């Protein structure tokens, strides 16, 4: 998995903790050269979300297909999806919406749809870019 670049440059000092040790078993994916911040994978067994992940796996019907997933539920990020139990949602199943492509239109659309964290655009060559509602806050 690669980090999806944001369309706006955020404050490089925002919540940055240079030199922080990675947890055991952490697999780095990419490091932002400007901030030194690294994104990657943390083994679920060591994660504070392990219990919720186990609940989501137990509730999942059938064999999970290959891909990446989002863990959602009552104890995850304030449960913006409003689900009753913890679930794993395939990123491939994300809604595909027609949204404005100009800055003012995007701002208006995102602020009018608080259930959405943001928008991710996918280019045919595999590049992606995202814009979050908080980018307009």
More confidently predicted of 23 and 93:
93
How confident is the model over 2-49, as pLDDT tens digits?
555 554 444 443 333 567 777 788 888 877 777 777 778 888 888 889
DSSP 9: P
End-to-end CA, the chain: 28
Helix (H, G, I), strand (E, B) or coil at 107: helix
pLDDT at site 58: 92
For the question of whether the overall pTM of this predicted structure is more than 0.75, the answer is no
pLDDT at site 112: 92
Contact (Cβ atoms closer than 8 angstroms) between residue 79 and residue 56: no
pLDDT at site 6: 52
- Average predicted confidence (pLDDT) for the chain: 81
Q: How confident is the model at residue 60 (pLDDT cuts 50, 70, 90)?
A: confident
Alpha-carbon distance of 61 to 46, in angstroms, equals 25
């Amino acid at each position: 998995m690669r980090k999806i670049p944001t369309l706006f440059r955020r404050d490089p000092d925002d919540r940055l903790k240079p030199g922080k040790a990675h947890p055991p078993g952490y697999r780095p994916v990419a490091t932002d050269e400007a901030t030194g911040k690294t994104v990657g994978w943390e083994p679920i067994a060591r994660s504070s979300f392990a219990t919720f992940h186990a609940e989501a796996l137990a509730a999942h019907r059938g064999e999970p297909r290959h891909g990446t997933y989002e863990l959602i539920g009552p104890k995850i990020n304030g449960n913006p999806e409003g689900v009753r139990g913890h679930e794993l949602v395939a990123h491939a199943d994300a809604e595909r919406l027609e949204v404005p492509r100009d800055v003012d239109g995007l701002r208006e659309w995102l602020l009018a749809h608080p259930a959405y964290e943001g928008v991710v655009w996918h280019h045919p060559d595999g590049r992606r870019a995202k814009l979050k509602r908080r980018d307009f806050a």
